[in-house]
Amino acid sequence: MIICVGSVKGGVGKSLISTNLTVLRALKNKRVLLIDADEQGTSGDWTDHRTDLGISTPWTTVRLKGSAVRTEVQKLSKNYDDIIIDCGGRDTASLRAALIVSDVFLVPFQPKSFDIWTAQKVSELVDEAKSLNDKLRSYSFINCAGTRGRDNDDAKSILSKIDGIKLLPVTVVLRKSFSNATAEGLGVIELNSDKKAIQEIIALHDAVFKTQK
């Protein structure tokens, strides 16, 4: 499956989710290609960090930009079971190129009003992308949720009404273990210190891959 993890907003957790999904797919013995399509290079740096620490990295990571995201995915897709594309936090040529070749557009939202306001822009982007790629399915979910409070429910209520993007029944909470794992070049399942975080990322993984036809 080809998954583009993207948004029109920075800092919502795209790289954290891309890297954790990569780890989970690799643990299932899938041949995984992680594409860092963001010039910041977060996913690429995370893989490099991991390699420097001597941690096994049973997937391939490449850094690509602009239309190369589309052309390289077209060339490489037959060699991989799954391709996960970490896109930058803006509407870029790389994001649009990724959406042309993806099966799934996965969009994290944080339950803050500034983030939720971007949902309409994402909906317009999905609409355009669908006209070029009719197999594209788009899903949102809440990342960095609070453990309590009305914000999560308010955000879900808004996201559930956005055209063309289905809200997944999964919430990933703001948990120190996620950022701790990333800092150590790991996925949260590998850090193995927080059962709730592991359950949440597995639930997200299962929800995304269950959508496979």
Ligand X SMILES: Nc1ncnc2c1ncn2[C@@H]1O[C@H](COP(=O)(O)OP(=O)(O)OP(=O)(O)O)[C@@H](O)[C@H]1O
> Residue 14, interface with Mg ion (CB under 5 A)?
yes
Binding flag, residue 15, Mg ion (CB under 5 A): yes
Q: Which is nearer to Mg ion, 23 or 158 (CB)?
A: 23
Residues sharing a CB contact under 8 Å with residue 71, sequence separation 6 or more, in sequence order: none
Binds ligand X (CB under 6 A): choice among 14, 25, 156, 205: 14
Tell me if 209 sits within 8 A of 1, measured CB to CB.
yes
- What span, in angstroms and rounded, lies between the C-alpha atoms of 4 and 103? 8
67 binds, among ligand X, Mg ion, none (CB under 5 to 8 A by kind): none
Q: Which residues pair with 82 in a beta bridge?
A: 32
Please give the Cα distance from 139 to 170 (Å, whole number): 11
Which of these ranges, 13-21, 58-66, 95-103, 118-126, lies near ligand X under the rule CB under 6 A?
A: 13-21
Footprint (CB under 6 A) of ligand X, residues 160-189: 172, 174-175, 178-179, 182
Q: Considering the rule CB under 6 A, would residue 42 count as an interface residue with ligand X?
A: yes
For 24, the 3-state DSSP assignment is helix
Give the residue with the Cβ less far from ligand X, 42 or 138.
42
Euclidean distance between CA atoms 71 and 209, whole angstroms: 24
Binder among 2, 3, 4, 15 for ligand X (CB under 6 A): 15
Only one of the segments 9-17, 96-104, 114-122, 147-155 lies at the binding site for ligand X (rule: CB under 6 A); that segment is 9-17
**Stretch of residues binding ligand X (CB under 6 A), selected from 26-34, 36-44, 47-55, 133-141:** 36-44
* Binding residues among 83-142 for ligand X as defined by CB under 6 A: 88-89
- C-alpha 181/C-alpha 185 separation (Å) is 6
Q: Tell me which residues in 191-210 interact with ligand X (CB under 6 A).
A: none
Between 77 and 180, name the residue whose CB sits nearer to ligand X: 180
What count of Cα atoms within 13 Å lies in the side-chain half-sphere of residue 211?
22
Instruction: Answer yes or no: are the C-beta atoms of 18 and 43 closer than 8 Å.
Output: yes
Give the nearest distance from C-beta 11 to ligand X in angstroms: 4
User: What is the number of residues in the chain?
Assistant: 213
Strand, helix or coil for residue 140: strand
CA quadruple 203, 109, 63, 71: dihedral sign: positive
> Which residues of this protein are in contact with ligand X, per CB under 6 A?
10-16, 38, 40, 42, 88-89, 143-144, 172, 174-175, 178-179, 182
- Which residues contact Mg ion (rule: CB under 5 A)? 14-15, 42
